[in-house]
C-alpha cells in the first residue's frame, strides 16, 4: 500500500484533480488492484497521518483533502531505493547507485515503475504460506529480515538453519512489537514446520526451515528484479553499452 500511495503522489497532476492523492482515490485503487480491502486501505491512511508519514497538502482543496508524503518519508524511501540499487550492484558489479545519485530527481519516475512492477509480480503478490503469515504482521517484513540477516551463509543449505534469535521477548523489544502478538505468529509458523528451536522453546537458538528460507529469497529476488527493470527503463545504457 505504501508503494501505491507513493506512486499516486509522484504521478499527481496539479492541474487535474482526478489525479490527486486522496483517501477515496487511494482506497479505490488499492481495492481494484486486490492489494487490500477498502477498510484496510482507509485504516492504513489514518495510520500514515497519525505517525506523520503522510500529511494533508497545505492550501489544498478543502473538499477532497489531497495528501502527500512528508519530507521525512521521501528521505526514508530514498534510502530504500539506494539500498536496493547497492544490492544489485554487489550482485553483478554494476554502477546503478552511482548513476542514480547523479540524477536523484529521477526518483519521481523510478518509484511509480517499481510500484507497477510489484503489483504485477506474482511471487511478490502471492508468496508462499509462511511468508504470507508474517507479511500481514505489523513490521512483519522486518521480522523476516531480522531472522534471515542472522543466518550464517555457510549454514544456508541445512534443513534447519540456525538464526541469531534466542529470546522472543528480546526479539519483540528490538522490533517494538507486542510480545504476545509476535509469539502467536511464531507459534503458527512453528506449527507449519517453518521455525523451531534447537533446544527448549524460547531459551535456545531459533532455526528457520530451508523451505522458509527459500520462500524469503524467492520474494527478495523477485523484488530486486522489479527494481532492476524499473531502473533500466529510467536509465537506459549508453549506446554501445551492455
**In tens digits, what is the pLDDT along the chain, a chain of 242 residues?**
999 999 999 998 877 777 889 999 999 999 999 999 999 999 999 999 999 999 998 866 656 789 999 999 999 999 999 999 999 999 999 999 999 999 999 999 999 999 999 999 999 988 877 887 777 666 778 888 888 988 999 999 999 999 988 888 888 888 788 888 888 888 888 898 999 998 887 678 999 999 999 999 999 999 999 999 999 999 987 665 55
pLDDT confidence of residue 111: 97
pLDDT, one tens digit per residue, over 155-186 is 999 999 999 888 888 888 887 888 888 888 88
pLDDT confidence of residue 60: 63
pTM (global) more than 0.75: yes
Average model confidence (pLDDT) across the chain? 89
pLDDT confidence of residue 63: 61
CB atoms within 10 A of CB 174: 13
Whether the Cβ atoms of residue 38 and residue 146 lie closer than 8 Å to each other: no
pLDDT confidence of residue 93: 96
Beta-carbon contacts of residue 133 (< 8 Å; ≥ 6 apart): 185, 188, 189, 192, 194
List of E strands, the chain: 54-56, 67-69, 160-162, 195-197, 206-209
pLDDT confidence of residue 138: 63
pLDDT confidence of residue 30: 95
CB atoms within 10 A of CB 242: 5
Signed CA dihedral, 94, 95, 96, 97: sign only = positive
Q: Hey, what's the cell of 77?
A: 524511501
pLDDT confidence of residue 136: 64
CB atoms within 10 A of CB 214: 12
Amino acid at each position: 500500500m505504501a508503494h501505491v500511495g507513493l506512486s499516486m503522489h509522484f504521478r499527481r497532476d496539479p492541474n487535474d484533480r482526478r489525479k490527486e492523492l486522496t483517501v477515496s482515490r487511494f482506497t479505490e485503487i488499492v481495492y481494484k488492484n486486490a492489494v487490500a480491502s477498502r477498510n484496510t486501505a482507509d485504516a492504513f491512511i489514518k495510520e500514515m497521518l497519525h505517525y506523520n508519514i503522510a500529511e494533508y497538502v497545505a492550501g489544498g482543496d478543502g473538499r477532497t483533502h489531497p495528501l502527500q508524503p512528508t519530507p521525512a518519508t521521501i528521505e526514508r524511501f530514498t534510502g530504500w531505493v539506494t539500498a536496493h540499487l547497492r544490492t544489485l550492484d554487489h550482485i553483478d558489479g554494476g554502477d546503478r547507485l552511482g548513476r542514480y545519485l547523479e540524477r536523484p530527481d529521477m526518483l519521481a519516475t523510478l518509484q511509480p515503475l517499481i510500484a507497477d512492477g510489484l503489483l504485477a509480480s506474482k511471487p511478490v503478490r502471492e508468496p508462499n504460506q509462511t511468508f504470507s503469515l508474517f507479511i500481514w504482521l505489523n513490521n512483519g517484513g522486518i521480522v523476516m529480515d531480522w531472522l534471515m540477516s542472522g543466518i550464517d551463509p555457510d549454514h544456508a543449505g541445512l534443513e534447519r538453519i540456525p538464526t541469531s534469535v534466542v529470546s522472543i521477548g528480546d526479539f519483540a523489544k528490538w522490533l517494538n512489537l507486542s510480545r504476545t502478538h509476535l509469539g502467536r505468529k511464531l507459534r503458527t509458523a512453528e506449527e507449519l514446520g517453518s521455525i523451531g528451536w534447537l533446544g527448549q522453546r524460547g531459551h535456545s537458538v531459533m532455526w528457520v526451515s530451508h523451505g522458509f528460507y527459500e520462500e524469503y529469497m524467492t520474494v527478495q529476488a523477485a523484488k530486486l528484479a522489479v527494481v532492476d527493470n524499473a531502473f533500466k527503463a529510467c536509465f537506459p545504457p549508453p549506446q554501445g553499452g551492455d
